[in-house]
Structure formats: structure tokens, C-alpha cells
Structure 1
Amino acid sequence: MITIDDLEVRAGVRTLLHMDGQTLRVQPGDRIGLVGRNGAGKTTTMRIIAGEGEPYGGEVTSTSEIGYLPQDPREGNMDQTAKNRVLSARGLDDLMARMSLEQERMADESDPKRQEKAVRRFGRYEEEFSARGGYEAESEAARICASLGLEDRILEQKMGTLSGGQRRRVELARILFAASEGGGKSATTLLLDEPTNHLDADSINWLRDFLAKHEGGLIIISHDVELLEDVVNKVWFLDAVRGEVDAYNLGWKKYLEQRATDEARRRRERANAEKKAATLRTQAAKLGAKATKAAAAKQMLRRADSMIDNLEEETVADRTARIAFPKPAACGKTPLFAKGLTKMYGSLEVFAGVDLAIDKGSRVVVLGFNGAGKTTLLKLLAGVERTDGEGGIVSGHGLRIGYFAQEHDTLDMDATVWDNIRHLAPDAGEQDLRGLLGAFMFSGPQLDQPTGTLSGGERTRLALAGLVSSAANVLLLDEPTNNLDPISREQVLDALRTYEGAVVLVTHDPGAVRALEPERVIVLPDGTEDLWNDEYMEIVELA
């Protein structure tokens, strides 16, 4: 169980949450949706609940094991295989390595005494391995990995050779493997921040069933409404305006209905109270003109003020970012041309000999299964990584690239919001940049906030703000709708629809593809180029 008392959460000098006198608990069987707009403090609060951050005030105590999936999972040992990373959740990777070493000694050792010692050590390790579930647990880990789209060939690769999406799925598999110990009756509390990022439709369906059956506690941050609807039985709403948390012991649909009812009631009560208070103030003004009635007038004014002060605060409509992509600078007919792009990780070939011509105003979607090299291709086109072999990039007349990185690699996490935007738009004036950041909902103390403390959605907005002032005529967009709330996502889709320059898009979001209205598709790892047709939409959802 997790108990949260009087929690106060801050980001820099900005207060995100203050739970004055409030206690929240996560108990076995609780499946809680932690919701609120981007920037409300969901990710920061989750990190504190997981023990990864310190609260400004209050206390979080836990009496159960915790499985925490952050938006940016810890990388761990990049030389470790994906399989061993998953097995490490129960300490099985270390035991298997020791068993393997003793087997080698048993086979190679010529001294009978030393060989006998190796046999005894192997026996002890194997006994412990069996006690922890042994080979059955190894099979269980493989089933979880397969359900999350991690094939056997991926599990044998080192973590450093995997894409960001693959590494995140490995980390999710590791957490779920730990939580399934004990035949599905684990008391582990799962804290999952956007767990469906990088998952295909089949994997999301499997995860939905897994979470619905999980007997321990669960707190989940997700913009996948269907997932919330099918899984959660309680909702914690972080109100970004009031800096408070409203707890509902309701499933998702009933929560939405109850919240709408509460807001309607608050509006009625405020309207009635303001009407009565206005009447009292009018009467007080009349009485105040007479010296003998001054005391009565003051009492009426106090009563009017009290009527308003004692009301429940009406939720103010959330601000939304005004997202728009830049007016593209003038360029030639083919501003970007790639020839023979190849990428290797050691002896592993990701793709080879990919040719791509990006004409002025063209719209291209890059498709392929997870790990096919979609993110890597965009990095090559952006000049972030170099191609292997003799291929390369040819810049056409007037080329200006705007690159949005899936893992926010274009942002310096140690720098402030202001320093990042100055770096991303060095030629823009200070007032223009302040106005730009304001349009993307960054203002006041937030400008001095370290970027690493921002939520995933806020980092996305900051990276997109950097594109706006770039005058880019070729946008390379890698999952630009990840971590965005529904309103911000629609803003990005509208920006895609109206942008006049060329776009190369990598996405799992069918809505983003529809908004782009692509003309061509590149399918990796083969590098096959084809005219777009709606049959490719199925690959978007499954890739």
C-alpha cells in the first residue's frame, strides 16, 4: 500500500500541487488514472510517489514493492542483452550467468577437485534458480516480451543496439515480469507513465487485459482514453488552476459524468451567490450614505464577501498552446536528397542503401516495424548521425531543416526553458521569443525552470516552439504527438494540415497520418518507396 499525506509538489518556484490536510491511498485492487492537462504535474507527482524525487512538503510512504515506468526509462547497462535486462527483475540474469560460468568450468577443468567444486556451485545456483521459478519464469518472461512486440532476435541483442522504442518496451516487460511473480497474485504497485507509447495495437490490447487483471495497486498516466475506460476504477484529477487533486472513486465514464455534474453545480452556485452578493452590496451602498446605518452596511458587505469566498472554486477552462509550424523559407525544387543511406550497429545491419528525394512541399511517411530504423533514418537526414558506407546527404538550394526528436534529443535537459529556446532560435529577438513561449504556455518562473524537470508533454511543446521560429522548409518529425493531451494533440494535427513545407513523418498515430495526407511512403528496413494508399494505414497502427 502507498499512503500520500499533505503532499506539496513544486517545479522551481511554481507550485504544482498542495494537498493541505488531504490523504490519498493506493491499495491492492485500486487502478487509478492520474489525469490532468499537460504541465499539471502528473509526471513530477508520479516520480515522487515512486521515490524518484523529493516532495517540497508532505510525505509518501510505501509498504509494497513498486514497479515504476517513467516516460524516459533509465538506460541501465547498454552492454546487457534485452533478455537479461528483463530477467534481472527477479535476479535471474545473474544466476544464469553464474550457472553458465560453472558449466564452462565443469567442461574445461582437468583437475577433479576443482571440477567437483564447479559441480557443487552449479548445483547451488541451479537450486536457487529453480526456487525463483527457473525455466518456467524464463518462459513467462519470453511470453510477456512477445506480447509487447519484442521478438526473440531483439531479446538476444544488446540494449545499446536497440531503438528508443524497443528499450522502453524492454523496460515495461521487465516491470510487468516482476509484477507477475507469484502466479499473478503479486502485491506490486505499478506506477506507469504513458505505457502505451511505442506499442502497436495488439500490444496495447494485451497490456489492457494484463492491467485489468493485476491484483496489486496501479497508478497510470495515459492519454489513451480507451485504456483508461477499460482499466481504471478510480480517478485522481490534478487541477492545474487550483493546484489541487480531486479524488473520484469511480470508473472512467462515471468520473467524466460526475465531473461534468460537479462543474455545472459550481457554476449554478456561483451565479446564485454573485446575484445575492450584488443585491447586498447595492443595499449596503444605500445604507452607507447614512451615518447611523454605517455598521449595518459594513456587515452586509462582509456577508456578501463571505458568500463568494465560501464557494467551491469553479474550474477555469484550461489554457491551450497555439501550435503552428513555421512559414517555410524559399528553396529549390528538391531541397533534400539522400543516397545510399546505411546504418550498422556492430555486425547488425539496420538498413542499407536507402535512397530518398524530398521535394518542395512533399509529404512522406516512414513506416516499418519497431526497430526497423525509422528514428535512425530521421537522425541521418537531420545530420545528427552519420551514415555508414559511402552514401550521404545532399543539401539542395535553400534547405532549412527542422527536426523534432522522439526522445527530445534537441533539448538540453540541464538548461532552462529560456536557454533552450535561445539555442533553438538564436536569431530571434527577446520579445519575439517571450511571445512565442507564451503561445506555447511557458511564462514567468517557468522560463527559469530546468528542462529536465518538465513533463513529457511540456518538453514536446518546448521542442515544437523551437521549430516555429526556424523558418524550416523540411520538417523531420519523429512521433510529434507522443505525451500530448487531447487538446494539444489536435493543435499539432491542425498544424500538420496547414504547413506549406515538406514533411517526413514517423508516427504510430493514425490521426497524424490522416492530418498529413501523405503522398509517398518509405517502408523500412528495405527502403521501398511507394505512392501512399490507405492499405498502409494498417501498418501505421501495427508498426
Structure 2
Amino acid sequence: MISVQDLEIRVGARLLMENVSFQVNKGDRVGLVGRNGAGKTTLTRTIAGDLQPANGTIDTRGQIGFLPQDTQVSDPTQTVLARILSARGLDEIHRRLAKAEHEMADMSISADRREKALNRYSRLSNELEIQGGYAAEADAKQLAANLGIPNSLLENELGTLSGGQRRRVELTRILFSQAETLILDEPTNHLDADSVSWLRDFLMTYPGGMVIISHDVALVEQVVNKVFYLDANRHVIDIYNMGWKNYLTKREDDEKRRRRERLSAEKKAAALTTQAEKMKAKATKAVAAQNMLRRAERLLDGVEEDHQRDKVAKLRFPSPAPCGRTPLKADGLSKSYGSLEIFTGADLAIDRGSRVVVLGLNGAGKTTLLRLLAGVETPDSGEVIAGHGLRLGYYAQEHETLDGDRTVLDNMQRAAGDMAEVEVRKILGSFLFTGDDVHKPARVLSGGEKTRLALATLVVSSANVLLLDEPTNNLDPASREEILGALHAFEGAIVLVSHDPGAVRALNPERVLVMPDATEDLWGPDYEELIELA
């Protein structure tokens, strides 16, 4: 359970919310919504204990399972299965069991130590049984499979996985935890269509409470039974104890009611003000005039401000820098992580202005290919060849291209080169970074804000080849449409990795590269069904 009382959250001098109170009880499936930058991610991080509120109290009872937008790997040598099992402490029990078993069989140590190891093994076995025994491990493996993590990956180290794979591991871990309350920030990112469908059904029957931030309309329609609307203008949360479709109707009614109340109050206040101005000229009526003005002020104070229209990032790519006919080539690229072979012999030629979509199942090497093309990683064999005039713009799904310790403005200026600061700030403003926002370090941004900043750095880069890895993740529908429109109009070349069918349609690709075999073909309708499976 989560109980929040009189919560106030600020980011620097900016107020996100104040005097906010709510509860999330067992069986509550809350959809947390609000415009970009309203503070949804900041609120979830505050509830989870990652951030401290400016005021108010947060009381959490029972375990919280928190899936943030950006997942970090604390120990890259930990195996996938151990990471999942760690949600219930089972990884440590297994480690200690293995150690005790080794000591029991070690004839080089004393009989007394072997006896102690036997007793320890028995005690740990009982503890494992209490935690669900080996059936719990089977449950973990089944959860992983449902979320697109095959058994063949379970013994791989986390450091060998793609960003999307690590994200699915973290989601599996959170679901396996059986926490009393789940906090899930964009849980469908990097999931294929089958996994998304399975997740919806799983959350529908989850016995605990949950708070979900998601731009997946089908998920919130099916899953949530309450909606918390974070109003960025009024700095409050409106609570709707109803499902998604009823919420949409009720919120529209509320907006209309507020507008009517505001209009009525403004009319009455205007009439009182006009009358007071007439009466102020007469000394005998000056006191009455002042009372009328105070009544007018109270009328306006008693109603809520009109909602501003949700802001949308405005994106337009400038003309790309001139380049040769084939600005980027890859010849015989191969990549492995330890004993895990990702792909071999990948060839690719990116012509000026071409459109290429990279498809393949999860773990097929799509992200790895883009990292090799961008020069972030080095191939085991083969080479990436930069053509005449190549200027690369790389969008990484985990936002690795951003320096978390630098401010928003510093990240932009680093990408913009000699561009004047006033122009840089103008572009940041079109991406909704204004005022003190530009001085925030990139590491404190939400996933959606990091997406906008990373895309903004591409705009100022004058790139003629864009490498885009899931660029629509974490974006609200309006910003997503704006960005897809800009990509469609971009005159340079684009290599796209995406689970988003709308993004691929907007790209209007000419060619497809299917990984891990690096099979190249002309784009056609037969490939569309592979997008959501990728």
C-alpha cells in the first residue's frame, strides 16, 4: 500500500505539485497520466525513494517493485537468471548452497568443517523451500520466456545484453518479486506484440496494487481501474475512480465545467469592477467600492485557471550537410560477446538520402549493428567505412549519447559546435526546454525528456545519416506524431530500428536488413508483420 499526504515536489525552483494526497491500495490499478514534463516520472521516483520531496509524507507498506524508464546495470557480470531471482533473494541462497555443497565434497578440509557445511546446506535448503523452492525458479524462467527472454539467455551475463534485453530482464525481475505494489514506468518499451499482450493479461490479474505510466492506450484501457491526472497547470492530481474510457468522458466534462465557471466568474468580476470604478469617485462610496473590488478578486481566486493546451515538441531537421553518393558502408561486420555470437559477415551500404529499416527478433543484433556503425563499439572483424562528407547522428535507445553530468544546454552546445547560444536555446525551446530547464543535469530528466533532448542534439548536428534506435519510446502520442512527420521530411539517410509500425510507415523505407543473417531486401508488405515481432 502507498499513502501520500500533502506532497510537494520541486525540481530546482520549478513547482511540479503541492498539497497532493492519495492512496494506492491492494487491487488498485492506477494509470498515472499528464502532459510531457508534468512530473509523472519524478513522482514515481519519489514514491520509490530515489528522490526526496520538498514537503509531505509518503508511507509505503510492503515491498515496492519499481521499474524506472532507464534501467542501469550495477553488476554486468551477474547472470540473467541470478538477476531475476535476486528479486526474492534466491540468487544469494543458490550461491550459498553451491558453496556449502562444494565444501561438503572437499576432502582437503577437516571433517568438522564438512559437517558444518552439511548443516548449513540443510538450513539453506529449508529456506529455499520456504521461498518456493525450485518451483520458484521454474516460475522465473516462465516469466522470462513470456517477456521474450529465451532459456538460452538465462546464463548470459547482463553486460552482454542489448538495452532492450536488459529492460525485459528488469521487468521480469519486478514481476517475479511478487511485490505488494508495482510502479511501472513505460513497461511495454522494447516488448514485442506477443509479450505486450501477455503483460496486459498478467497485470489484469495481479493481486497487488500498481501505478502505471504508459503511452500504450490498449494497455491502460484494459488494465487500469483508476486514473490519476497530474495537472501541470494547477500542480495537483485529480483522482478518477473509474476505468480509462469513463475517465476520458468525465475529464472532458470537468474541463467544460471549469471553463463555464471561469467565464461566469469573469463576467461577474468585470461587472463588480466596473461598478466599483464608478463609485470610487464619490468619497461617500469609496469603502463600498473597495469591498466590491475585493469581492471581484475573491470570485477569480475561487475558480481554476483554464488548462493550457498540452505542449508538443516542434521538430524540423535542417538540410543535411553535403556528402558523397554513399556516405556510410559496412563490410563483413562480425560481433560476439564472449561465447555468444551476435552476427557475422554483415554488409551494408547507405546511399545519400536512403531509407533502411533493420528488423529481427529480440537479441538478433539490431542495436549492436547501430552501435558498430556509430563507432560506439568496435567489430570483431570487418570494418565500417566513412564515405566523403559523412556526418553521423546517432540516437541510442538508452540515451548513452547524453552526458548525464552535463546540463541540457551543455549537451546541446557540445552537439551544435559553433552555433550561437541564442540559436541553441531557440531550438531547445521548440523541444519544450525553457527557462531554468536548460540548466538541469541530463541525468535528472525523465525518459521522455531525455528522448526530446537526444533528438534535439540531432537537429543541431547537421547530420546526413541518422542512426535511430527506438526513437519513439517514452513519447506521448502528439510528440510522437510530430517527430515522425519530421523524420518523413528529412532529406538525409536514415537507418531505423523500431518496434513501432507507425514509425516504420512514416519512414517509408526502401530497403530492409533482417538480422542476424544481415539479409538485405527491398521493402515490401510481407515485412510489415515482422515489425512488432522484432
Q: What is the TM-score normalised by the length of structure 1?
A: 0.95
Deviations 1:298-349 (A, max 9, x none): 3332222222221123212122211122321111111111111111111221
Q: Is this contact kept in 2: 1:11–1:453, CA < 8 A? A: no
* CA distance in 2: counterparts of 1:17 and 1:103, whole angstroms: 54
Aligned mates of 2:401, 2:133 — CA distance in 1 = 43
Residue 300 (1) aligns with residue 292 (2)? yes
How far did residue 217 of structure 1 move?
Answer: 1.1
Structure-2 residue corresponding to 1:75? 73
**Aligned match of 1:265:** 257
Do the aligned partners of 1:38 and 1:455 also contact (CA within 8 Å) in 2? no
1:125 aligns with 2:124: yes
Residue equivalent to 1:183? none
Aligned-partner Cα distance in 2 for 1:161–1:26:
37
Matches of 1:461 and 1:473, distance apart in 2: 19
| Aligned equivalent of 1:200 | 192
Give the distance between the partners of 2:7 and 2:13, measured in 1 at CA. Answer: 16
Unaligned 5+ residue runs, structure 2? none
- Please report how far the alpha carbon of residue 100 of structure 1 lies from its aligned counterpart in structure 2 after TM superposition: 2.7
**Do 1:190 and 1:217's aligned partners in 2 also have CA atoms closer than 8 Å?**
yes
Letter matched to residue 83 of structure 1? L
On the 8 A contact 1:424/1:466 being kept in 2, the answer is yes
* 1:412 maps to 2:411: no
Aligned residue number for residue 218 of structure 2:
226
**Counterpart position of 2:493:** 502
Q: Trace 1:366-385 onto structure 2 (pairs within 5 A).
A: 366-385=358-377
Deviation for aligned residue 1:105 = 4.0
C-alpha deviation, 1:117, in angstroms: 4.6
Cα distance, 1:228 vs. partner? 0.8
Residue pair 2:35, 2:311 contacting (<8 A) in 1 also: no
* Alignment partner, residue 477 of structure 1: 468
Give distance in 2, aligned partners of 1:433 and 1:111.
Answer: 68
Q: What residue is the counterpart of 2:38 in the other structure? A: 40
Superposition deviation, residue 115 in structure 1: 4.9
Task: Determine if the alignment matches structure 1 residue 286 to structure 2 residue 278.
Answer: yes
1: CA distance, partners of 2:275 / 2:292: 8
Is the CA contact 1:326–1:472 (under 8 Å) kept in the aligned structure 2? no
Q: Paired residue for 2:267? A: 275
Partner of 2:511: 520
Q: 1-side partners of 2:12 and 2:441: how far apart?
A: 8
Q: Does the 8 Å contact 1:326/1:470 carry over to 2?
A: no
Change (3 A) 1:95 1:292: closer
Which residue identity is paired with 2:44?
M
Q: Does 1:6 align with 2:6?
A: yes
1:148 aligns with 2:147: yes
Of the structure 1 ranges 517-526 and 50-59, higher mean CA displacement relative to structure 2 is found in 50-59
Measured after TM superposition, the shift of residue 124 of structure 1 is 2.5
| Greater Cα offset, 529-538 or 117-126 | 117-126
Q: Which residue of 2 aligns with 1:217?
A: 209
* 1:172 alignment partner in structure 2: 171
After superposition, the C-alpha distances for 1:174-214 in whole angstroms (9 at most, x for unaligned) are 111111xxxxxxx6111111111111111111111111111
Match of 1:160 in 2: 159
Helix, strand or coil at the partner of 2:144? helix
- TM alignment of 1:428-443, pairs within 5 A: 428-443=419-434
CA separation in 1, counterparts of 2:180 and 2:337? Answer: 36
SS at match of 1:300: helix
User: Which of these residues, 29, 32, 38, is aligned with residue 31 of structure 1?
Assistant: 29
After superposition, what is the alpha-carbon deviation per residue over 1:149-176, rounded to whole angstroms, capped at 9, x for unaligned? 1100111111111111111111111111
Corresponding residue SS for 1:428: coil
Distance 1:111 1:474, change over 3 A: closer
Alignment partner of 1:352 is 2:344:
yes
Deviations 1:396-431 (A, max 9, x none): 121111111111111111111111111111221011
Q: State the alpha-carbon separation in 2 of the partners of residues 82 and 251 from structure 1.
A: 36
Contact 2:335 2:342 in 1 (8 A): yes
Secondary structure, in 3 states, of the residue corresponding to 1:350? strand
CA spacing shift, 1:111–1:402, aligned 2, 3 Å: closer
- Which amino acid in 2 is paired with 1:2? I
Query: Alignment RMSD, CA only?
Result: 1.6
- Find out whether 1:16 has 2:16 as its counterpart: yes
2: CA distance, partners of 1:111 / 1:383: 52
- Residues 39, 454 of structure 1: 8 Å contact kept: no
Structure 1 gaps of 5+ residues are 180-186
Q: Structure 2: how far apart are the matches of 1:539 and 1:410?
A: 28
Normalised to the residue count of structure 2, the TM-score between the two structures is 0.96
Separation of aligned partners in 2, 1:161 and 1:393: 21
Structure 1 match to 2:522:
531
- 3-state DSSP class of the match of 1:541? coil
Residue 310 (structure 1) aligns with: 302
- Which of the numbers 447, 460, 464 marks the counterpart of 2:451? 460
Distance 2:333 2:50 in 1: 40
Post-superposition offset of 1:386: 1.1
Aligned CA distance change for structure 1 residues 454 and 111 (closer, same or farther; 3 Å) = closer
Question: 1:107: how far off?
Answer: 4.3
Which amino acid is 1:524 matched to? M
